[in-house]
Amino acid sequence: MTNGCTYEKLNMFIKRRKPPFESIPPSTSLHDPGKRLHHPPEEATKNSGSASRYSKSNMNRTITTSVSPSRQGYAFLFLVWAGCFLSAFSPQTLHAQDTGVLKLSEAITEGLRNYQSIHAKQQYLEASEALSKNARNEYLPNVIASVQQNYGTVNGQFGPLGAVGVLGVSSAGPTSADESWNAAFGALYLVNANWEVFSFGRVQSRIQLADAQVRRDSADLEQERFIHSVKIAGSYLNLLVAQQFIRNAEANLRRAEAVRQNVRARALTGLNPGVDSSLANSEVSRAKLSLIEMRTNAQLVTNQLSQLLNMTADSFVLDTTFVGNTPQNFNTALELANNPQVKFYQARIEQANSAARVAKRSMLPGVNLFGVYQARASGFQYNYSPEFPDRYSTDYGKGVNPSRYNYVAGVSIAWNLVSPIKVRQQARAQRFVSEGYRYEYEQINTQLKNQLIFSDQRITNSLQSLQEVPLQYRAASDAYLQKSVLYRNGLTTIVDLQIAMLALNKAEVDRSVAYINVWQALLLKAAATGDFDLFINQAP
């Protein structure tokens, strides 16, 4: 039931539409953290508007049915009942359709809930926890109960016997001059207890190894959740950028078409040369190609976000309030050693060290307490001998009824003297594995330190850019307006106008990208320090 509700909820986040342009994937990608990002604040309300129009179009669909006059009354009552039923349950759905915005926190929640790799690592952790509980059961003694009932002969013979690999028949009986085929029933009932009371740390080392495996799998799960959250956040911001690139390309196309219309009118009247019309057509085609490329980029990032959320979607309506807002806190008290990635590599080292201790202690002896209590039954009587060969009974009840009882209790110590030779290389191999894990730990630690330095530098640069882009946009907008007026009055060339138009387009991109650059820089620092709350708690 929960999965169904979640799927319906996500469907309300998705705005499905076929892109009007198809193209091959561009040569560049938006996923490089160093790429510029783009999203203007004045366009932020368009998403919710389009989502509302999409929702209303669905709500305004009507279904025409043919109802016979005799059933019109029943149909009317049914429609009234259905309307009351839907009105009782529809406010939340209609609200979701009206907004239709997938917030970052909701995307992360859904991604963590649905992603298969996280579920797989959760199963691995539960398996390790079960093995850890099972390792503690090695302290318990072995208690074996056995019931054996037989039918056979009891011919005895003097002579040596060593059973290697194959057990012989353990029949106890008198030695006769001739073979006797007298047979009767017999039985053996016993309880055997064996308890290793002191193992010189072998059992404890196995428990420690199982616990280390639990810690490693737990750290692996936390690392996977952390990395997946960062990936979703990064893909979310990249999709915001890609969608804004589309809006900028559409605005640039509208400007190019307006210029072309003006140029055509002036060229037809002879006020401008015909080459201006060709240049205007070329600029419109360039703007269309740019729009196609931006749509391809958006489709690529949408596909990647869909994979991270483990769902199928054509497009998403995202929260554009990231544009126009900046985080207020860029500092964290969390140490680099608390990064989930660092913890995972540290847990691998501890697990390898525990495995080496198990290998070393497996060569040590063990002290055991043991005890056996048994009851035996036989169809042969106590005085059965070659002189009295008829002193036995073939009756089943007499043959399995116990008549003799014995017990044995004691203590033993056992040590395989060849164990040091067998286990030495195994312990040595585990030390090599542990040393290899240590090198990987140092490598990831160095990488995260450098990433932390770069994230602080990028935060500084993005904040400086945020102060500069309004000046650039104002100047580019004024220049485009001036060139437009001059061109309409024949005082400048179309080339100068196109240069001003390109400058305005770049200024629009830089103005909106500056905000998301700050968020991406903060996300980079959160990924380096392991403090994802530093980012998500300030996200809109």
49-65 pLDDT, tens per residue? 333 333 333 333 333 33
Q: Which of 131-135, 174-178, 280-284, 296-300 has the lowest mean pLDDT?
A: 174-178
Q: What are phi and psi of 527, to 5 degrees?
A: -70, -35
Return the pLDDT at 180: 83
Structure tokens, 189: 């009932």
pLDDT tier for residue 490 given thresholds of 50, 70 and 90: confident
User: What does the pLDDT read at residue 12?
Assistant: 43
Please state, as a whole number, how many other Cβ atoms lie within 10 Å of the Cβ of residue 198: 14
The percentage of residues in the chain with a pLDDT greater than 90, rounded to a whole number, is 54
Each domain of the chain, given as residue ranges in start order, spans: 2-20+39-53+72-126+211-347+436-536, 140-153+182-198+366-414
Query: d(Cα 115, Cα 228) in Å, to the nearest integer?
Result: 9
**Which pLDDT belongs to residue 176?**
77
Q: Are 348 and 220 in contact (CB under 8 A)?
A: no
Q: Which alpha helices (H) appear in 269-318, and where do they start and end? A: 274-309
Both tokens of 108, joined, read 């992360």
The pLDDT score that the predictor gives to residue 165 is 60
Say how far apart CA 311 and CA 96 lie, in whole Å. Answer: 18
Q: In whole angstroms, what is the distance from residue 316 CA to residue 13 CA? A: 6
Task: Write down the pLDDT at residue 164.
Answer: 62
b or e along 476-509 (b: 16 or more beta carbons within 10 Å of the residue's beta carbon)? bbebbeebbeebeeeebbbeebbebbebbbbbbb
Q: How far apart are CA 456 and CA 445, in angstroms?
A: 17
Contacts of 380 (CB under 8 A, 6+ apart): 154, 173, 182, 184, 186, 391, 392
Q: What are the tens digits of pLDDT across the range 98-157?
A: 348 999 999 999 999 999 999 999 999 999 999 999 999 988 999 999 999 999 988 777
With 0.75 as the threshold, say if the pTM is over it. Answer: no
Q: In the predicted model, what is the mean pLDDT of the chain?
A: 81
> Tens digits of per-residue pLDDT, 344-394?
999 999 999 999 999 989 888 889 999 999 999 999 888 888 888 888 899
For the residues 68-80, what does the mean pLDDT come to?
41
Whether the CB-CB separation of 311 and 13 falls below 8 Å is answered with: no
Alpha-carbon span 138 to 361, nearest angstrom? 15
Q: Could you give the dihedral angle defined by the CA atoms of residues 82, 85, 91 and 94, in that order, rounded to the nearest 10 degrees?
A: -30
Mean pLDDT of 396-414: 93
pLDDT at 91 > cutoff 70: no
20-29 pLDDT per residue, tens: 333 333 333 3
- Structure tokens of 45? 């309300």
* Assigned CATH topology for domain 2-20+39-53+72-126+211-347+436-536: Outer membrane efflux proteins (OEP) (1.20.1600)
From CA 522, how far away is CA 436, in angstroms rounded? 32
Q: How many CB atoms are located within 10 Å of the residue 60 CB?
A: 7
Residue-wise pLDDT tens digits, 208-256:
999 999 999 999 999 999 999 999 999 999 999 999 999 999 999 999 9
What whole-number distance in Å separates Cα of residue 105 and Cα of residue 232? 10
| Banded pLDDT at 169 (limits 50, 70, 90) | low
